[in-house]
Structure 1
Amino acid sequence: MDSGYGGRVSISQRNDLALNGHAGQHALAVAEAHGVGTMWTLSGAHVFPLYDAVVKAESPTRIVDVRHEQTAVFGAEATAKLTRDPGLVVLTAGPGVTNGVSGIAQAYFSGVPLLAVGGRAPAWRWGTGALQELDHPPLLAPVTKLSTTAHKAADVGPAIDRALSVARSAHRGPVFVDVPMDELYSFADVTLEVTPPAPRPEPDPAGLTAIATLIGESRHPVVVLGSDVWMDGAEDAALRFADETGIPVVANGMGRGVLPRGHRLLVNRARSAAFKNADLVVVVGTPLDFRLGFGTFGGSDGAAPAKVVHVADSPDGLATHVELAAGAAGDLTLVLDGVLTAMRATRRWDDWANGLRDQAAAAAERDAPLLASEGEPIHPARVYGELNRVLEDDAVVIGDGGDFVSWAGKLIEPGRPGCWLDPGPYGCLGAGAGAAAAARLARPDSQVVLLYGDGAAGMSLMDVDTLVRHDLPVVMVVGNNGAWGLEKHPMRFLYGYDVAADLRPETGYDAVVEALGGAGETVTEPGDIGPALRRAFDAGMPYLVNVQCDPKVAYPRSTTGI
């Protein structure tokens, strides 16, 4: 039988795929038809046919092999976030799949289209105790939109097609398909028509009118822009909505950068005042979770709670735990443009917006001494004062940490949309190395900066080896305070002591990077941060700046919403 190497897959104008060869080739062809361009993996014999499909067919899909499966999943997730095409991770059976569960869960809570293909013990040996025999789909079901097994070689193409269609449909999310090893190596001939994602419902005109009416009646409206604004391709519509209405905006997640830093309506630095004093909050493309006080706003100085409007890309994304004044679901561009069209008057909130902007400016002024602090050990804010001087508008900034990265969320504003990556609502540490590799591949001409807490660095620093092997230069900055800072300070506040919260500030994270083939340096004085960052950006290789930060400084945070 012809092996199918060298282009036996053909695509007709009707988007039909004629799949020949082994099941690994079927899986690759279907994934590419859905827009996949990178395969993240850690090698395992259960999934060799997927690699073989790339190599023998001279596929444009790039294989990125890593040192831990969690990095592979985080790399695939970040690829999807940055490109808005599906991410693909290939995991060998048993521990290969279970090592990837946290990353898949992060993609689930972040609404990221991700396909995880797992190996599986051979079907003909199932139930006899084969190596790494485990029924994976029940484990993945709670954190995926679809979790299934393709039991026969001929089933693989259709199963991958269905999974990717589901992953790409609103609300987006990860999917999982595993294939018995013997079937993945087997050959079959299949023809299928590629299934596009399900069309999103057009928003209900009555809902758009209701939202427009509420906005028109409000005195202190605020708009929140979340990650789905970016993932849904609605960033232009969101910017247009803000500019034409004059309503102040708070951005979170990948909604950051939709209004670029310095925009007159971006009031992240006055977020608390905006939420406390708002009489209407329109939340677009993000859940009403702990990051937004579970949807409770307003009520300042005895005022009534703010009315809440929720806009989501699918009906099941609308909040049910909060009484909504109105809601709309569907294509976010259509929703935003539709509300704008339904509004009879705009730019009625200049005093409100100007007041928030003044408060944001005052907050920035209060923080200015920290950004220039000469204190030793180094105040973490000083790191961001120096970083802000060298970041370009299209720089991709990745946060992987707790306390240190919280300062970044406060002090760094992206210059463009799609340039900020954080763990999202799941709050999973260890995503940094995979996300940095994905950013370098997706944005080869942009600066890529990975901000590590010293705790988070220990979860993925070995994958600097991946960056080196694949020639992926990124800048890494470790805020090294010798502690799990997000836990140490609250525990001390609660109990008067802390345990299991200390790390070694003497750890040479830069030396680890050097040992893996990169470069780096340790910084102990504030005046040396800027020159070290410039050397890092000029190095042309993975470069880590290990900044010794003050362990006594804790990020100021509210205890509400936990």
Structure 2
Amino acid sequence: MSKSSGYLLEIVAYRDGEAILNGARPRRAHEEVQLRAPFVAFGLLVFQSGRIWYPLKSEVLEAQHVGVARGKMITVLMILCTLAMAALCFLLAKMLSQGDFTQKLVDVGKGRMSVFRLLYCVDSDSRNFGGEIVASVLHSHGVKWVFTLCGGHISPILVACEKKTIRVVDTRSEATAVFAADAVSRLGEPIGVACVTAGPGVTNTVTAVQNAQMAQSAVLVIGGATSALLKGRGSLQDIDQIGIMKSVCKYAVSVSRVKDIASTLRRAVQIARSDVPGPVFVEIPVDVLHPLHMVEAEMKLNRKPTSFHGYMLHWFMELYVSRVFGGAWKSCSFSPLPVKYRRATSSQVQKCCALLIESKQPLILIGGQAMLLPDSIQDLISALKTIHVPCYCNGMARGLLAEAAYLQIYHKRREALKEADFVILAGAACDFRLDYGRSINPRAKVVAVNRSKSLLLQNADVFWKAALAVQGDACDFIIQLADAVSSMSTYSRPDDWLHRLKTRDRQAEEDITKVAAVETIVPSTVNPVALLLNVEEIIPKDAIIVVDGGDFVGTSAYVLKARGPLKWLDPGAFGTLGVGAGFALGAKLCHPDVPVWIIFGDGAFGFSVPEIDSLVRHQLPVVAVVGNDGGWAQIQRTQISLFGSSVACTLSPVAYEKVAEGFGAIGFAVDSSNVNSLNAMVDSINEHSRAAFINAHIGRTTFRDGSISI
């Protein structure tokens, strides 16, 4: 074919990095490789200036005869034409399925409707919006509250939730919203939900989301975002939110089409609740949440273009909008997907049972993970009574054995672990809290049960060794173990061992009482141990206790007893300060008729001060005790002993009771002169049914000497 025919048809083939041009002189393939590479994987034909690039599955084509090459080319063209016809038939069938197809076709012909809206089945008359789908999914999943700090990107979700009778609870920081969602998840709700605006709204949640991840709480964070059209173009609050959140979440995803909202949220909730629970993040751009007519108005799609560039831009915008809203309002399921988790096998349970029968001094450590099946908690308690082994309960498991206190040991855990010959780690990990496993008797037989594969054998074969490792739910395992034990006539309860541990426990309690009698260095301040012993007597027996702090909260962990299962909320392994108000807010919403008490350190309280407003506005009458020693005592103690300086560890003795009153709450101040009036103060608080804050000026003692802060 000559050049005079208009287009020069050349068959370009490749062999060993060289280009063969119609059998002519070879030339280097780098001349074509930039265009060739993207098409090789797809086996495409590309026409450009009369030239045909003809790769087929990366195979080398040696064009020795133009006729052979043309034959192959024709074959590929026929295949592509067949595929194009099939696609056209599919689109035609899709359009014909629309009831008003004829009228829409007329509208397209007259320019009243773009062909893209016809192809994507866009309902241009609908006033529905994506926020309504979000609310419908949450409602179908039993969500009662959405915690938020408002923002323009998420307004459609909040308004739709209000219409669905989902209570929208606004806080003064996004972190508090996530902490509140974390609390309701821990207290037995299917999932906690926080909804935050784009950019800073999302980044402000990172610490709270990481805390939820390490506490294994099922939390759904919904984040607003700029339109996909404006991503990377300098839009307000536009950042790579998925890149940030995927490091602290089990699952992070962005929704680009309205019709994908429901399926994405359902999948996200399933992931959050399955196996090891944790936080998930779903980003929903602002145009996906708003109604079509608002998006059209914002994009100015109703204006007629007047130039070629304008027509091309209008064409592109129509394609984008059609894709976002295509098939948006077709019926779909909002119901929850099944939650999955591993269970122990019968052979694993039998092996553990055999090890238990052989032991003389068994011990069970129950972690918060054992509380992930709230409907099975009573069965778990019954199972522990059947097994009749001394137990230490940590984290969310504190209070599990309130009705079987004879089995629960509170103090001297390190000594007990060194003496035990058999230990079950039921949802407990060998991290810093167990000195990475060094606390356990190296000769003890250890059975580890954990949903998390990474935590199951954490630090194993370094400081401890597992006789049996079970990746499964700890609550289910203990219940199965109890069934196996009850059928064994050879099982002998370790009553002597239990009596010895309980005797040691009582001695520790007496030692704590002795510390309470010691005067503080500053006479006007209250001994923190004495104050907490008084608080222990005042807190109602059905109360939920929230703790947020360092030194004062560390002391409270020795003095205060959790009132029952799921009655104790602390940050967990991450040790985050600032959880107090959010946890209390979530707890009071879950249990409005149950007293909620917060134990604050004055340092940690600084994070929650603005949330006094949230508690007052939402009429949540919690009671808080702030241990005010004017400093970051836990850090200060160690820093002075090591380096002789208290730099950055000193705080002002703020009148927090007046701060609380400024927000509309009740405030009291306590020192050595009126500490005996604490009961009367609480009576007055109960009469007013408002949030109340007791600012207790405490002194320093030696009780916490040697405690760790790193």
TM-score normalized with structure 1 length: 0.91
Q: 2:666: which partner in 1? A: 519
- Deviation per CA, 1:136-178: give whole Å up to 9, x if none: 1111111111011111222211111110010111211100001
* Distance in 2 between residues matched to 1:298 and 1:226, nearest whole Å: 16
1:529 aligns with 2:669: no
1:373 deviates by 5.8
1:372, 1:385 within 8 Å by CA — same for their partners in 2? no
1:335 aligns with 2:477: yes
1:260, 1:417 within 8 Å by CA — same for their partners in 2? yes
1:251 deviates by 0.6
* Letter matched to residue 201 of structure 1: R
Out of 594, 608, 617, the residue aligned to residue 460 of structure 1 is: 608
1:254 aligns with 2:399: no
1:246, 1:346 within 8 Å by CA — same for their partners in 2? no
1:474 aligns with 2:622: yes
1:320 deviates by 4.2
2:341, 2:473 within 8 Å by CA — same for their partners in 1? yes
The equivalences for 1:387-466 within 5 A come to 387-466=535-614
1:315 deviates by 4.8
Q: 1:62: which partner in 2? A: 167
* Distance in 1 between residues matched to 2:247 and 2:500, nearest whole Å: 45
1:40, 1:73 within 8 Å by CA — same for their partners in 2? yes
* Letter matched to residue 671 of structure 2: T
1:93 deviates by 0.4
1:169, 1:198 within 8 Å by CA — same for their partners in 2? yes
Considering Cα pairs closer than 8 Å and 6+ residues apart, tell me whether 1 or 2 has the greater RCO: 1
* Letter matched to residue 564 of structure 2: R
Indicate the RMSD between aligned Cα atoms, in angstroms.
2.0
Out of 410, 433, 449, the residue aligned to residue 311 of structure 1 is: 449
Q: 2:97: which partner in 1? A: none
1:551 deviates by 3.5
The 1:270–1:552 alpha-carbon spacing in structure 2 relative to 1, beyond 3 Å, is closer
The equivalences for 1:169-188 within 5 A come to 169-186=274-291, 188=328
2:132, 2:156 within 8 Å by CA — same for their partners in 1? yes
Task: Describe the SS at the equivalent of 1:264.
Answer: helix
Task: Describe the SS at the equivalent of 1:500.
Answer: coil
* Distance in 2 between residues matched to 1:123 and 1:306, nearest whole Å: 58
Task: Describe the SS at the equivalent of 2:406.
Answer: coil
1:390, 1:534 within 8 Å by CA — same for their partners in 2? no
* Distance in 2 between residues matched to 1:373 and 1:443, nearest whole Å: 38
Greater alpha carbon shift after TM alignment, 183-192 vs 152-161? 183-192
Q: 2:349: which partner in 1? A: 208
1:98 aligns with 2:203: yes
* Distance in 2 between residues matched to 1:368 and 1:230, nearest whole Å: 31
The 1:37–1:557 alpha-carbon spacing in structure 2 relative to 1, beyond 3 Å, is farther
1:235 deviates by 2.4
* Letter matched to residue 225 of structure 1: I
Q: 2:131: which partner in 1? A: 24
Task: Describe the SS at the equivalent of 2:392.
Answer: strand
1:189 aligns with 2:329: yes
- Deviation per CA, 1:320-341: give whole Å up to 9, x if none: 4313111223344431122223
- Deviation per CA, 1:62-117: give whole Å up to 9, x if none: 11001111111111111111133200000000000111111111100000000000
* Distance in 2 between residues matched to 1:469 and 1:298, nearest whole Å: 48
* Letter matched to residue 569 of structure 2: L
* Letter matched to residue 445 of structure 2: K
* Distance in 2 between residues matched to 1:190 and 1:354, nearest whole Å: 66
* Distance in 1 between residues matched to 2:497 and 2:472, nearest whole Å: 30
1:94, 1:120 within 8 Å by CA — same for their partners in 2? yes
Out of 484, 491, 499, the residue aligned to residue 354 of structure 1 is: 499
- Deviation per CA, 1:372-416: give whole Å up to 9, x if none: 666542111122111111222220100010010011111111121
The 1:190–1:329 alpha-carbon spacing in structure 2 relative to 1, beyond 3 Å, is farther
Q: 2:508: which partner in 1? A: 363
* Distance in 2 between residues matched to 1:510 and 1:355, nearest whole Å: 45
Task: Describe the SS at the equivalent of 1:544.
Answer: strand
1:431 deviates by 0.8
Task: Describe the SS at the equivalent of 2:541.
Answer: coil
1:53 deviates by 0.5
Task: Describe the SS at the equivalent of 1:263.
Answer: helix
* Distance in 1 between residues matched to 2:427 and 2:706, nearest whole Å: 24
* Letter matched to residue 363 of structure 1: A
1:201, 1:314 within 8 Å by CA — same for their partners in 2? no
1:533 deviates by 3.4
* Letter matched to residue 386 of structure 2: E
* Distance in 1 between residues matched to 2:238 and 2:372, nearest whole Å: 36
2:602, 2:627 within 8 Å by CA — same for their partners in 1? yes
2:551, 2:634 within 8 Å by CA — same for their partners in 1? yes
* Distance in 1 between residues matched to 2:401 and 2:182, nearest whole Å: 24
TM-score normalized with structure 2 length: 0.73
Task: Describe the SS at the equivalent of 2:352.
Answer: helix
Out of 126, 142, 147, the residue aligned to residue 40 of structure 1 is: 147
1:297, 1:305 within 8 Å by CA — same for their partners in 2? no
Q: 2:178: which partner in 1? A: 73
Q: 2:258: which partner in 1? A: 153
Where structure 2 has 5 or more consecutive residues not aligned to the other structure, the ranges are 1-125, 293-327
Pick the structure with greater CA Rg: 2
Q: 2:408: which partner in 1? A: 266
* Letter matched to residue 514 of structure 2: P
2:367, 2:393 within 8 Å by CA — same for their partners in 1? yes
1:229 deviates by 1.7
1:151, 1:179 within 8 Å by CA — same for their partners in 2? yes
- Deviation per CA, 1:496-523: give whole Å up to 9, x if none: 2221100012x01111110001111111
Where structure 1 has 5 or more consecutive residues not aligned to the other structure, the ranges are 1-18
1:278 aligns with 2:385: no
* Identity %, equivalent residues: 32
1:366 deviates by 1.4
Q: 2:656: which partner in 1? A: 509
Q: 1:544: which partner in 2? A: 693
Task: Describe the SS at the equivalent of 1:268.
Answer: coil
* Distance in 2 between residues matched to 1:366 and 1:29, nearest whole Å: 56
* Distance in 2 between residues matched to 1:247 and 1:119, nearest whole Å: 50
1:252 deviates by 0.4
* Distance in 2 between residues matched to 1:480 and 1:149, nearest whole Å: 44
* Distance in 1 between residues matched to 2:127 and 2:207, nearest whole Å: 34
* Distance in 2 between residues matched to 1:190 and 1:270, nearest whole Å: 61
